[in-house]
Amino acid sequence: MKRLLTFWSNNSKNHYRSICTMSEHVRKFYDQNALIELSRLDLPLCRVEFASTLRLIEKYFPPTGIICDIGGGPGRYAVELTSRGYRVLLSDLSEEEILLARKEFARQNLRADAFLTANACHLSEIASESFDAGLLLGPMYHVVEAANRLKALQEFRRILKPGGVGIVSYLNSWGLMRTGINDFPSRYEDVEFLRSMLEGNTFTGNDLKNFTESYWSTPELALAEIKQAGLETISYAGAEGFASGMASQMEKLENDNRQAYENIIKVAAETSESKQFRDNTDHLLIVVRRKLGQN
């Protein structure tokens, strides 16, 4: 069996902790909010995000293979992929998230190939060209330096096999402009803040309540970073589809009209790649491929 990790075989029961250079604020935030992250995708609107991402996986990933889930937190996608028969390596910056993932795998009597506490910008302990497909769904939210975002994308490309497919997620300023009307309207007292959301934004831990330092992109900037990293864009989607920005309405529908709520999740996921929706949702999902013959 090919080793996925240069310092750790697939059947090891221990995990290797790398020296993390991503902000300690980010690591501490997720260490302290691990349980919240475990349940986040069960929130009424976030179920659309989960459904849209799974739809892209079903559409673009190979039917079998070895998958890397980089920045996968407590393993919601890793668990789902493993239950579907994939072999999965799960990596995250937060040790608490990884501990939760281990417990969730055990609770469901599932086995991951490996659990790794590591920085998405520095994955040298993972062997090159190891994975048939991969997820990079969290790190790009929190890598605030452009050079390090490029490094994370290049590391992701390196560990994919030639022809391997991945999904990369960004926080999208254009969608968050609408969401902010409900979620953080006081920030709009500063008109320059509102105008700045038309471009990429970087925030420190003190800028946003109940969140840590983050980077908000736009589709144009995100797609340019993907290209710069040497990855090919196959497609992209807006995770929340036409339901983006409607968290309170989705919560109400879940309680008052369950059939309408379930139908919205279904159709929002089905149409998440539609050009009329994909540029203005909170989360941008970019389907990428490592080109054949690429070093």
Which pLDDT tens digit goes with each residue over 233-266? Answer: 999 999 999 999 999 999 999 999 999 999 999 9
Alpha-carbon distance 218 to 70, whole Å? 22
- Domain assignment present for residue 4? The answer is no
Residue 16 lies in a domain: no
Specify whether the CB–CB gap between 97 and 30 falls below 8 A.
Answer: yes
Tokens (6 digits) for 179:
């969401």
Q: Has residue 295 got a pLDDT over 80? A: no
Range of the domain at 247: 24-289
Distance (Å, rounded) from C-alpha 178 to C-alpha 175?
A: 6
* Residue 13 maps to a domain: no
pLDDT digit string, tens, across residues 214-237:
899 999 999 999 999 999 999 999
Answer for the pair 38, 102: CB distance below 8 angstroms, yes or no.
Answer: no
| 6 lies in some domain | no
In a domain, 234, yes or no: yes
pTM (2 d.p.): 0.90
* Chain CA centroid to CA 34, Å: 15
Which of 81-90, 202-211, 240-249, 253-262 is predicted least confidently?
202-211
Q: Does residue 10 contact residue 3 with C-beta atoms inside 8 Å?
A: yes
Q: Which two tokens stand for residue 112?
A: 């991951």
Total structural domains within the chain:
1
**Integer-rounded Cα radius of gyration of the chain:** 18
Per residue in 93-144, pLDDT (tens digit) is 999 999 999 999 999 999 999 999 999 999 989 999 999 999 999 999 999 8
Task: For 220, list phi and psi in degrees, rounded to 5.
Answer: -60, -45
Residue 233 falls within a domain, yes or no?
A: yes
Does residue 80 lie within any of the structural domains?
yes
Which CATH number fits the domain that encloses residue 110?
Answer: 3.40.50.150
Decide if 162 is inside a domain: yes
Q: What are phi and psi of 205, to 5 degrees?
A: -60, -20
